Structure 1
Amino acid sequence: MRSNRLICVVLTIVVCVIGAHRLYPQGSFSEHNSAMAKLQPAFITPLVAPDPRLIQYARFSVSHEYNAEGAETVNYGNGKGGGIIAGNRFEFDFVPPPYIQHNSAAVDGFGDTSVLAKLRIASGDAESGNFDIAAVLSHCFAMGSYKNGAATDSYSPAITAGFAFRRRFDAMTSLGGTLPTGKIYLQGRSVAWNSVAQAHATPHVWFEVENNSTFYFEGSHDGKMQNFVLPAAFYVVRPKSWKPKHPFFIIDGGMQIATSSFHTYNHNLITEARVRF
């Protein structure tokens, strides 16, 4: 069964890459940033919440979270990976399995693998409304070792939108859910609602505050809700000679702080390194 899932993942990646080459009109990945800048706002991708824009990137993330007993869990990968743009309306992402270190009696191991497709519904740059609306659908392949992943595969649909105010401030929101393909009595279902406020302080520095809410239905957390407030900062690294078609780097970090009485973890420190190309 696990080998079949691996084959599905590989085939999905191949289809996405081939589709990107065929759908993108310029036929060159290096032109994506320049082309997309004319179609959507100049946000920065939130630390946790989904980005409504189409972006081409590679992203490595590490999280350090603590459970109620104070045990630290380190997640190398943290559900982030890379994405490519196909045409003017599609983005395809691949999230490799993270490595999870528990620092407790639980056995360390690799987590699940995911793929994602994003459709740009409508958008405009600073001269055309400065907004973006997109639909997202991801599929998680339950391939984790030693119970470091989900019990079954799942689908996660979402709708996300953002609006920028005069190039200095922007707000984003998203609403989505996680729908396991089986064992609902064990895993339950969930709805996630994210709200983001960002400030572009300098040409290289961004700040944001996120609110991450999850509502649980069925399963062991039935009827419960957990909420986190996440302050974060971003530093954009690019030379003076940079142009929109050139790659650049981003270093960022933040901490999820629980504000609800129920929470499965707390004080989740997230650090990242990104490249946009």
Structure 2
Amino acid sequence: MRASCVISVVLLTAFCAAGLHAQRSFGEHNSAMASLQPAFITPLVAPDPRLLQYARLSVSHEYTAAGAETVNYGNGRGAGIIAGNRFEFDFVPPPYIQHNSTADDGFGDTSGLAKFRIASRDAESGNFDIAAVLGHSFATGSYKNGAATDSYSPAITAGLAFRRRFDVISSLGGTLPTGKIYLQGRSLTWNALAQAHATPHVWFEAENNSTFYFAGSHDRKMQNFVTPAAFYVVRQKAWKPTRPFFIIDGGMQIATSGFHTYDHNLITEARILF
């Protein structure tokens, strides 16, 4: 049996098992996590070091310098559940990719990930979080809308908050295809960002997203984006961590490097946290 098949079975089993447990204890999990980790908001692009239970709908509009648009319905986002107080399992369904060009529209790749909370403290005892993430993407895309092979995506991510009003988050990770390296290459990604909690309902964010390429058609190239974003949290005045709440957010990736696969990217999202 191929390694990717084994991994898919393991991820699916873990996700289902954790899902059954989470169904019985959504409130307990979130209450426990609120007492163990900072009160960040999940970044628009970069990974979040916290453990969360969520559903996230995202749409992106990528534009090249010539004005060609590619719409990604899904944008690599999905749903996550917490298992115990150390693990989060996410499932990301294949996005639908629409090209406003001669390229064929179709579905992209399916992926899943596991996150492990290494260490964290709440606002009263340190206000930081450190986590390790391991993702796996399955080459299920149609009409070349996905990768040529499966790939792994390991990462380490950490964040530090200051008095619930300001925080910084950074992550370092990579994409490691399981084959055809000469065609796809490998990449290293570094994200760094700052967030400001402006009002009880409004957050602002500025991200820097850098990707370094090795082998493949982009060998020795780097692309960088600056990404301003804003978040509006819809919740009752007496909100508590055990109650679900709704977030509307959006931002724009703006290319700042000489090499870039697209010029800018408008991202809009809706999120529900349980």
Q: Does TM-score exceed 0.5, indicating one fold?
A: yes
1:228 aligned to 225, 228, 244, which one? 225
Aligned to 1:49: 46
Query: For 1:27 and 1:271, how far apart are their aligned partners in 2?
Result: 31
Of 117, 128, 134, 2:131 maps to: 134
Q: 1:174-197 deviations in whole A, cap 9, x for unaligned?
A: 000000000000000000000010
Determine the C-alpha separation between the residues in 2 that align with 1:20 and 1:240.
29
RMSD: 2.0
Could you tell me which residue of structure 2 aligns to residue 184 of structure 1?
181
Report the CA distance between 1:251 and its aligned residue: 0.1
Corresponding position of 1:13: 12
Q: Distance in 1 between matches of 2:107 and 2:9?
A: 17
Aligned partners of 2:235 and 2:245 also within 8 Å? yes
Distance 1:219 1:8 in 2: 25
Which residue does 1:122 correspond to in 2? 119
For 1:242, the equivalent position in structure 2 comes to 239
Amino acid at match of 2:135: S
* C-alpha displacement of 1:11: 5.8
Q: Which amino acid in structure 1 is aligned with residue 124 of structure 2? A: E
Which amino acid is 1:36 matched to? M
Map residues 1-277 of structure 1 onto 2, 5 A cutoff: 9=8, 12-19=11-18, 21=20, 27-277=24-274
Tell me the amino acid that sits aligned with residue 189 of structure 2.
A
- 1:200-242 CA deviation, whole Å, 9 max, x = no partner? 0001000000000000000000000000000000000012242
Cα distance in 2 for partners of 1:55, 1:215 equals 29
Instruction: Give the share of equivalent positions with the same residue, in percent.
Output: 80
Are the aligned partners of 1:68 and 1:264 in contact in 2 as well (CA < 8 Å)?
no
Separation in 2 of the partners of 1:20 and 1:141? 21
Q: Output the TM-score relative to the length of structure 2.
A: 0.95
Please give the alpha-carbon distance, in whole angstroms, between the structure 2 residues aligned to 1:273 and 1:222.
35
Instruction: Note the residue ranges of structure 1 that are not aligned, 5 or more in a row.
Output: none
1:259 is aligned with what amino acid? T
Residue type of the partner of 2:120?
A: S
TM-score of the aligned structures, taking structure 1 as reference length: 0.94
Q: Note if contact 1:21-1:86 (Cα within 8 Å) is conserved in structure 2.
A: no
Q: Once the 2 structures are TM-superposed, how far is the Cα of residue 9 of structure 1 from its aligned partner?
A: 4.0
How far is the alpha carbon of 1:129 from its aligned partner? 0.3
How far apart, in 2, do the equivalents of 1:149 and 1:120 lie?
30
